[in-house]
Structure formats: structure tokens, C-alpha cells
Amino acid sequence: MDYRRTYVKDLLASQPQTGVEAFGWVKTRRDSKGVSFVQLSDGSCFNDLQIVIDAGTLPDETLKLLTTGASVRFTGDLVASPGEGQSVELKATGAEIFGASDPTTYPLQKKGATMEFLREIAHLRVRGNTFGAVFRVRAQAAYAVHKFFYERGFHWVHTPIITASDCEGAGAMFAVSTLLEAIEDHSGETPQTLWKLHNQNPKSDFFGKPAFLTVSGQLEAETLAMGLTNVYTFGPTFRAENSNTARHLSEFWMIEPEMAFCSLEGDMKLAEEFLRYVIQYLLDNSSQDLDFFNKRIEPELLSTLEHVANSSFEHLTYSEAVKHLESSGESFEFPCTWGSDLQAEHERWLTEVKVGRPVILTDYPKDIKAFYMRQNEDGKTVRAMDVLAPRIGEIIGGSQREERLDVLESRIKEMGLPIEAYWWYLDLRRFGSAPHAGFGLGFERLLMYVTGMKNIRDVIPYHRTPGNAEF
């Protein structure tokens, strides 16, 4: 058995021929007079291959085991299909079953299973229509991301997952330590014990100082951009926040481009080109899967995606957006005033009601944004930009970075951050500083947008959220 063979996808696109084989899992089996029909799937594409088994062709003991979930190799002839929905089907002459699946206990048999139930059987859910489509689209989207950047001269850089600096302050962090063993010796003690042990002798911990799982690769990506010019990261990041929402994961994948000799204008141009490119790529290369999402998950999906791929994004400053929100006449749960962060309800109103397509908001108040964003002349706002999308709100957050050493140093002090920890970051401004900009995009947020899936837990194979790390 070779990995290079004809997949269901290839068979469905072929002309009738004799002597073919098809591997996969039985999705359904239906018997009528003198003939059995099996829908066979190998995950290579959305559609199944129909297998037609005339009575008497296969031994009874084989037929008996051809139940939902069983893995099998069929041999036979590919013939034109008289049925609707498929052009060819396989007329079986033989079948070899690798693994039977007891239909009385196979959990994926349940009709009308909820997303919540399917999440509990995440090791099997990929065999169904929805999750097969989700993970195929995820793979295609990842490919489109790399293709987009490579075509534009960006280098993929691998920034550390374990970090010793909470440089960005982007979110609460998970500690990485080998002192847990010591804790286990004192059963019943709280995690603070780790810090007690650590503080007694920091050098005794693995890295000789507190270490964490990264919340963002941005600062490290900046160092690489200051030599490679255009770079991007694409890898896992972690947030230890207790955000039990449909749009937050504790472990998620981020894409972070960073460009030297680039201003906020170039950054916004890249963000817009990027989103439209990935969407167009999926419309062109994942159409069967997207059709399914359009039919079963999100009714307006295809028209929205086509609209976004073909229209330019609206640009508004934060201050303009706040004015629109204040005069909107809507009663929001959280009132919107200049200086406060926009809530999801505000972001959705702007994109869905006010503008009707993605919006890029710029020039946010400096107090609600990170220390490294470039200050505007007004002394109050920074060169930040967020891309907001209908249905999900913030999808991208980016900025032009502060390249002036003195301004950056005073901002770090003003915010009460430990300036010593940033020595290497400040060095970039000491030796050949240059205007630069970048953004961060949560890959799963993008996937929610392009599939219409409502919960972020359903666009990653195994979700990590507060209270859950199954599988």
C-alpha cells in the first residue's frame, strides 16, 4: 500500500474504467432489493464515492461488517452513475475490511448531533461532513497564507514558544517550570508554591528565571525584520485568560507579518490585500466545502466572501468611529465614549450596520494600546489599526511601531514597565532604527469568518480553553 494512489477525489473526477481500488471509511450503508449502496469517504474532498454492491458479489461475512465507520478497500469498476449528484460510482467486485466498527456503539451514528456533542468526540468528528470541510479549509487557508507571503518576498521566521519576557503585555501567561515536581512532594499546595520555590532560588528553575508560553511573537519578529526587511510568523500562541467566549482559545495560531521601511499606510494595504487574497484563494480552491458551509452553516456566507474579496475596506479613524457610535441612536450594553476600548457590539455595529463591509479603524488613544505603537503628533493617539469584520468584530490588530529611541524609552517608563527587560528591543532603535509596521491575525478567527462556524472551538482540531485540554 502506497500513499501515492488514487483518492476518492481523483476517482470522482475520472472517466469510467475497469480495475480501480478505493480506500476509505463507510459513511452510510443502505440496502435495497438485490443491491447495497455504501457512501465511502477518505477525506480527500467533500463528496463521497458511491459503491454499488450487487447481491452475491461479496461474501456474507464481509457484507455484515460494512457498517458506518468501518475502514475498507474496495476493488471494482468505475461506471457512469445513473443516480443524481455523482457522475461515476464504483461497482464493487471485492472488499477488504481493515477495521470493523460496531454500529451499536459508534458515536458518530447519532442523527442531528450538536456541535457540543461532536466536540466531546473530537477524535472522530473529522469523519463527518462538517468537520471534514473545516479541516480541509483550514489546511487550504494555511497554504494560502504562506503562498501570499512568499509571493511578496516575506521570510517565514520561527519565534520562540517559550519566552522569558512578558514584553507585550498582550495577555495573561502560562508559566513554564520544572519546579512542579517539588510541588507534588507537598500535596494539596497551591500553585503559588511554585513562585515561593522559584523566588527562594530562581536559578534552580529550568531557565534560571521565570519563563512562560508566548502570547505573541511580535517583538522577536521585529528584530528579524530589522535585517530581513519583510518577515512573518505563523505558529501557536497562548493566553491564560479566563475568557470563556466563542471567540477565545487558550492556545491559538497567530500570523504576524512585520515590515521594515513601512508606515501604517503600507501595513493597512498589506492587511487588506492579505484578507482578500486568502478569501479569493478559498473561493477558487475550496468551493465544495464552502458551498456546504453556505447551505448548512451560514446562509449568506458565499455572497459575503465574494463581496469582501471584491470590495475595498472602509477606513475610519477611531475618533470618527466613536462619533458615529455616539450618534447612532442604538442602546448598547456598554456606552461608547472617546478613550475607551470598543466592545464587540460596537465593532459589529460599525461593520454590519454602518458600513456593511470590513472596516479599518486607525489612530486609537494611546492609553488603550500597547507601548510600542508610534505616537502621533497630537500626543494622545497612536498609529494603530484594527481590521473589523462583519459577524466577528476584530480580526486583525496592528500598528506602525515607535522607532524613536527617546520616545519609546519615555513611553516604557510612563507605563511603569521594567525597562531593563527591553534592552534588546531598544537596541533596534540604537543601531540602524527604521520606520516599521506589522500586524497580528488570529488564524482561527479568520477560519470562523470564512467557514461561518459560530464557535472558535470548532475550527481547531483540539481546543484548549479554561477547564478543557482533552485529547
Is residue 397 a contact point for ligand ATP (CB under 6 A)? Answer: yes
- Region from 81-89, 178-186, 372-380, 394-402 binding ligand ATP, contact rule CB under 6 A: 394-402
For 251, the 3-state DSSP assignment is strand
Q: Which is nearer to ligand ATP, 104 or 337 (CB)?
A: 337
Nearest distance from C-beta of residue 444 to ligand ATP, angstroms? 5
The grid coordinates listed for 95 are: 472488499
DSSP state letter for 351? I
Q: What distance lies between CA 323 and its chain's CA centroid?
A: 33
Q: Which is nearer to ligand ATP, 69 or 397 (CB)?
A: 397
Q: Which is nearer to ligand ATP, 26 or 170 (CB)?
A: 170
- Binding residues for ligand ATP, rule CB under 6 A, total 18
Is residue 445 a contact point for ligand ATP (CB under 6 A)? Answer: yes
Q: Which is nearer to ligand ATP, 42 or 394 (CB)?
A: 394
Q: Which is nearer to ligand ATP, 62 or 243 (CB)?
A: 243
Is residue 440 a contact point for ligand ATP (CB under 6 A)? Answer: yes
Is residue 249 a contact point for ligand ATP (CB under 6 A)? Answer: yes
How far apart, in whole angstroms, are the C-alpha atoms of residue 8 and residue 43?
8
DSSP state letter for 340? S
Q: For residue 373, list its beta bridge partners.
A: 401
Q: Which is nearer to ligand ATP, 198 or 348 (CB)?
A: 348
Find out whether 44 and 24 touch, Cβ atoms under 8 Å. no
Place of cell 477611531: 318
Give residues with Cβ within 8 angstroms of 296, minimum separation 6: 129, 130
User: Over the Cα atoms of the chain, what is R_g?
Assistant: 27
- Region from 112-120, 181-189, 249-257, 413-421 binding ligand ATP, contact rule CB under 6 A: 249-257
- Region from 90-98, 243-251, 307-315, 423-431 binding ligand ATP, contact rule CB under 6 A: 243-251
- Region from 89-97, 257-265, 293-301, 391-399 binding ligand ATP, contact rule CB under 6 A: 391-399
Nearest distance from C-beta of residue 190 to ligand ATP, angstroms? 25
**What is the chain's percent helix, strand, coil content, to nearest 5?**
35, 25, 40
Is residue 239 a contact point for ligand ATP (CB under 6 A)? Answer: yes
Q: If you count them, how many residues does the chain have?
A: 471
Find out whether 206 and 460 touch, Cβ atoms under 8 Å. no
Place of cell 470564512: 450
E strands, 14-129, in order: 17-32, 35-41, 49-54, 71-80, 88-99
Is residue 72 a contact point for ligand ATP (CB under 6 A)? Answer: no
Is residue 444 a contact point for ligand ATP (CB under 6 A)? Answer: yes
Place of cell 501595513: 267
Find out whether 128 and 118 touch, Cβ atoms under 8 Å. yes
DSSP state letter for 375? B
Q: Which is nearer to ligand ATP, 74 or 439 (CB)?
A: 439
For 384, the 3-state DSSP assignment is strand
- Region from 74-82, 188-196, 297-305, 439-447 binding ligand ATP, contact rule CB under 6 A: 439-447
Q: Measured at CB, which residue is nearest to ligand ATP?
A: 442
Is residue 396 a contact point for ligand ATP (CB under 6 A)? Answer: yes
Strand arrangement, sheet containing 251-260: 155-156, 230-238, 251-260, 436-442, 393-400, 381-389, 359-365, 314-317
- Region from 93-101, 105-113, 245-253, 421-429 binding ligand ATP, contact rule CB under 6 A: 245-253
Nearest distance from C-beta of residue 369 to ligand ATP, angstroms? 9
One-letter amino acid identity for 450? V
Is residue 395 a contact point for ligand ATP (CB under 6 A)? Answer: yes
Is residue 254 a contact point for ligand ATP (CB under 6 A)? Answer: yes
Q: Which is nearer to ligand ATP, 243 or 263 (CB)?
A: 243
Q: Exactly one of 148, 154, 212, 252 binds ligand ATP (CB under 6 A); which one?
A: 252
- Region from 26-34, 122-130, 141-149, 437-445 binding ligand ATP, contact rule CB under 6 A: 437-445
How far apart, in whole angstroms, are the C-alpha atoms of residue 456 and residue 468?
14
How far apart, in whole angstroms, are the C-alpha atoms of residue 432 and residue 405?
11
Is residue 394 a contact point for ligand ATP (CB under 6 A)? Answer: yes
Is residue 361 a contact point for ligand ATP (CB under 6 A)? Answer: no
Is residue 170 a contact point for ligand ATP (CB under 6 A)? Answer: yes
How far apart, in whole angstroms, are the C-alpha atoms of residue 335 and residue 339?
12
Find out whether 452 and 303 touch, Cβ atoms under 8 Å. no
Is residue 141 a contact point for ligand ATP (CB under 6 A)? Answer: no
Q: Which is nearer to ligand ATP, 298 or 394 (CB)?
A: 394
As to burial, measured by CB atoms within 10 angstroms (0-12 exposed, 13-18 middle, 19+ buried), residue 208 is: exposed
Of residues 184 through 213, those in contact with ligand ATP by CB under 6 A are none
| Contact set with ligand ATP (CB under 6 A) | 170-171, 239, 243, 248-249, 252, 254, 394-397, 440-442, 444-445, 456
